Amino acid sequence: MSEVTIAVPGGVDATDGLPAGRRGWAMLTYCIGLSMSVLDGNIANTALPNIARQLHASPATSIWVVNAFLLAVAICVVPLSSLVDIIGYKRVYQAGLALFTLASVGCSLPHSLNTLVLARVFQGVGAACIWSTSAAVMRYTYPRAVLGHGIGLGGMVVFTSAAAGPSIASAILSVASWHWLFAINIPFGLLSLSLSERFLAPAEGTRHRWDLWSAVLNAATVILLIRGIDGVGNLERVSVVVAELIGALIFGFLLVRRQISLDVPMLAIDLFDRPIFALSSAASLCTFMGQGLAFVVLPFYFIDGLGFSQVWAGILLTPWPLAGGIASHVAGRLADRYPIRVLGTVGMAAMAIGLLLLATLPPHPTALQIIWRAAFGGMGFGFFGAPNNRAMVASAPRERSGGAGGISTMSRLLGQSIGVSVVAVIFSLSARGGATLHGAKLALLFGAGFSVISGIISGARQPHLQPE
């Protein structure tokens, strides 16, 4: 499929990105929405005790304030990524941001847990719209020669938003109710909407048919797969877990079979014919298994295993995303000039070493001993992410950027889900459900192993497979 030249105000050809003067405004527009959606993906965690208390809900049921958001993203991101290719990323981003902002109003007003959870579902759909446009935003904003620069900047925004989430939530909760965690999104959402029409590059899309049955099969596959993975982690009844995983396998088979019959598949399996895309996707899955595992196990490790307070645990976790954000920005620039396979392998080696160093801490470590190890692991993760994402985005035709973004996001979500389940299984088997020091160290060793596998896959991307 050939690319179509699109007219941009000022007479600039948009087939290879926006002019330098507009890139900054376009990225500011997108990064406002991106940071909002990332923050709201985890900011509610901090407020769950307050929400449960004020809405008279049990801790177990209040978890749905978080789960509803994440599940909505997981179900919707692939169908919405297909819509990006059909009608253009700009329309999907604007619709998603409008929905996210409106849902934030709903989240700030509810008087019951049910209404809050429903509003969070709509927030998740809006966030899925925003995330599904990420690859297309980069391809339409940046020339191919500096594509890594834009991806690295986007990665830095994600990392810093994730790192700032607990601190922002704590600051707001210290002076206001939890409702303001969501209400604060409203002015920023309106600002990004007002900027988007003027500064985002136009993209008309390919106008092929959106397939409803593919969306239904995708939803069934994702729900059953995530339920099955979660069931493995929680050691639920074997018969139930097996039934869920078999159901996911059946629906997944039907989904793939239907994609083969489509000219432009919703689930972008056609892109796996490109070796660089297939290898980068596999490396991403393994990396997020290790990172998801680390983010779950480290708080237990610091608090239950090493005896730090909850406040200190938050402080000790912060160097990982902060170092990752800085490394992502640097690595994105390097990815435009140096082989991606080298950068990815070096990043995964650093992450593996960081996790090994954390797993072999002395019995009574100082905070400084932990901080530099966590920063080293986070630096490796960030150093891998931007070059790997550049490989995925650049290896796909620009009109298939939405499909590439959908695969990238699903690799992250599934990788994190599997990593969390690995932690749960290790804790359950090593200490009958308790987070012991031995179990935490063993889990970190598994995380290092996933990083090594990802590094090996990254190294398999031979020079002749590199995107131009």
- The mean pLDDT of 20-37, rounded to a whole number, is 89
- The mean pLDDT of 89-113, rounded to a whole number, is 91
pLDDT at 58 over 50: yes
pLDDT band at 47 (very low <50, low <70, confident <90, very high): confident
**pLDDT recorded at residue 101:** 95
Ranges of each domain in the chain: 7-207, 212-261, 274-468
CATH number of 7-207: 1.20.1250.20
pLDDT at 150 over 80: yes
Q: Do domains 7-207 and 274-468 have the same CATH topology?
A: yes
**pLDDT recorded at residue 412:** 84
- The mean pLDDT of 169-196, rounded to a whole number, is 87
Per-residue pLDDT reduced to its tens digit, 328-341: 889 888 888 888 88
- The mean pLDDT of 377-387, rounded to a whole number, is 90
**pLDDT recorded at residue 315:** 82
Considering the entire predicted model, what is its pTM?
Answer: 0.79
- The mean pLDDT of 343-350, rounded to a whole number, is 92
Average pLDDT of the chain, as a whole number? 83
**pLDDT recorded at residue 463:** 56
**Which of 279, 389, 287 shows the shortest CA–CA distance to 335?**
389
**pLDDT recorded at residue 153:** 85
**pLDDT recorded at residue 5:** 36
What percent of the chain clears pLDDT 70, i.e. is strictly above it? 91
pLDDT at 80 over 60: yes
Q: Which residue has the higher pLDDT, 421 or 134?
A: 134
CATH number of 274-468: 1.20.1250.20
Per-residue pLDDT reduced to its tens digit, 209-257: 788 888 899 889 988 888 887 777 666 788 888 998 899 899 989 988 8
**pLDDT recorded at residue 462:** 62
**pLDDT recorded at residue 4:** 35
pLDDT at 98 over 90: yes
